[in-house]
Structure 1
């Protein structure tokens, strides 16, 4: 008898403590990100191209004899890299563009959307397309630039993390603004 009454008392206390009217959910939490102040520098490469980049971009020359003008641009503090390919054109322009488009197409399976923006900078003689891929994709930003006759430059962004769009979105939005500024200021 003692066991049954003590179980009844404990259950009664637990049920009275389950008042749905006073339920207060915990608010969403996010990592606190300290974005650096944007200070821009002009970068002049030995291969003949230049652009404006923020101070947290670190350009690293790759030790690749086949492609000596390819560069990695590390985002200091954000665990991400912009991989940049600089190619002197040896064949028709459409072949380079088709190759770049095929790299974007590889992400259609995972991308929830793909936005493309035409880049036209006639004052520099630079033209291209910028792609923003939403969703859990490995390369959320891809682009190509060209002078249409001699030079083709392409690039993509990768973060050293599992591709989870909601996790990288704040950093991606911050970095995207500086990448667009870099592309706008590119000269060959």
Structure 2
């Protein structure tokens, strides 16, 4: 009979230890961890001229940017500047002729149609010596295209660009990339020339 009691006692002790352990593990207060992102530190920008004979304009681009030549053949004057390491592209379009007024209106409409914007900051750009006038739009929030701009000579040429990311952007996570691209776009605008 003592053997049976010892067995029961051993089972009760083991069951008690198991329950204590299970309750102890189960009482851990679990809270979900926020999603982490890689730290992004773009390289210091160095620029080189983009002067392709087929384009009716020229400007400087970052050495980090790669020219997508497939668009050059398809559309006259269009060019895409890809940033492979940053997973971003500046899509640039060009129009020539009497469509400038309509193109300017369309450019403003495209900015207004962006979803998830909290604020739009417009910076007017003028370079009368080169006959280059335009606007830079900085969109705040988790929008797909946080930087848009257009340039014109106000009579015959219209150039529009927009930065798009290859992923769903989170404004706070990609702030260093956006700042880098703002500087690149501003440099592009400052060095922009119409070819005669």
Aligned-pair CA distance for 1:8: 9.1
Match of 2:126 in 1: 120
C-alpha deviation, 1:179, in angstroms = 1.2
Distance 1:142 1:5, change over 3 A: same
Deviation for aligned residue 1:53: 1.3
SS at match of 1:167: coil
Structure 2 unpaired stretches of 5+: 1-8
- Give the one of 50, 53, 61 matched to 2:61: 53
Q: Which runs of 4+ in 1 moved over 6 A?
A: 11-14
Answer yes or no: is 1:179 the counterpart of 2:185.
yes
Structure of higher CA gyration radius: 2
Q: CA RMSD in A?
A: 2.8
SS state of the match for residue 185, structure 2? helix
Whole-Å Cα distance in 1 between the matches of residues 23 and 154 of structure 2?
79
TM-score w.r.t. the length of structure 2 is 0.77
Question: What is the number of equivalent residue pairs in this alignment?
Answer: 177
Residue 92 of structure 2 corresponds to which residue in structure 1? 84
**Gaps (5+ residues) in structure 1?**
19-25
Which protein is richer in helix relative to its size?
A: 2
Q: Which whole-Å CA distance do the structure 2 matches of 1:12 and 1:138 have between them?
A: 47
1:37 aligns with 2:44: yes
> How far apart, CA to CA, are the structure 2 residues paired with 1:83 and 1:5?
67
Q: Does 1:143 align with 2:149?
A: yes
Q: 1:111 aligns with which of 107, 117, 133?
A: 117
